């Protein structure tokens, strides 16, 4: 992680509640006011447990929070983490480069047909990936290009 992550009381409370309901300890919690959602980052291998059988567990979490909840599985590499944040089945490639001024830039290549699914309604998925890439790996810009 490039920056120290500081949590508000509300985020800490949501993380504790998420852990109690799902049995999965979240790595991170982000309250996204722009898209009225809560994003939890969880460790690899715990997605099924967090979602629950037929989505019942995550539905219970959403009901208690009163907002949609999105889950992202953590990965140590920025390329894999960005793929997971955007939905890896639609991603052709992810390339991270460093510009001459030292800023990191990510380029995600997707098929033209999958553009809507990857970007999400109003760009919500793309914004989630940008936010997480910046927060965990210091990637300043994330460009999504079609092929």
Quick: pLDDT tens for 3-52. Answer: 678 899 999 999 999 999 999 999 999 999 999 999 999 999 999 999 99
Question: 9-73 with 87-146: one CATH topology?
Answer: yes
As a whole number of angstroms, the distance between CA 113 and CA 79 comes to: 21
Q: What are the residue ranges spanned by the domains of the chain?
A: 9-73, 87-146
Q: For residue range 44-99, list pLDDT tens digits in order.
A: 999 999 999 999 999 999 999 999 999 999 999 999 999 999 999 999 999 999 99
The 8-class DSSP code of residue 88 comes to: G
Closest CA to 81 of 132, 46, 13, 143: 132
The dihedrals phi and psi of 87, each to the nearest 5 degrees, come to: 100, 95
Q: What is the DSSP letter of 66?
A: T
Superfamily of domain 9-73: K homology (KH) domain (3.30.300.20)
- Closest among 141, 71, 70, 50 to 103, alpha carbons compared: 141
What pLDDT does residue 4 have? 79
CA–CA separation, 101 and 99 (whole Å): 5
For residue 1, what pLDDT is reported? 46
| Distance between CA atoms of residues 56 and 134, nearest Å | 31
Residues in the chain: 147
Pairing of strands 139-146, 104-110: parallel
User: CATH second-level architecture of 87-146?
Assistant: 2-Layer Sandwich (3.30)
């Amino acid at each position: 992680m490039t920056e120290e992550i500081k949590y508000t009381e509300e985020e800490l409370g949501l993380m504790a509640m998420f852990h109690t309901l799902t049995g999965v300890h979240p790595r991170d919690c982000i309250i996204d006011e722009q898209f009225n959602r809560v994003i939890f980052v969880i460790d690899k291998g715990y997605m099924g447990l967090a979602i629950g059988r037929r989505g019942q567990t995550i539905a219970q979490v959403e009901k208690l929070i009163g907002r949609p909840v999105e889950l992202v599985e953590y990965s140590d590499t920025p390329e894999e983490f960005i793929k997971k944040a955007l939905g890896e089945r639609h991603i052709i490639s992810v390339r991270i480069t460093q510009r001459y001024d030292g800023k990191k830039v990510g380029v995600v290549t997707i098929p033209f047909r999958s553009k809507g699914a990857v970007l999400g309604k109003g760009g919500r998925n793309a914004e989630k990936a940008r936010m997480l890439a910046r927060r965990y790996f210091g990637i300043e810009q994330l460009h999504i290009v079609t092929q």
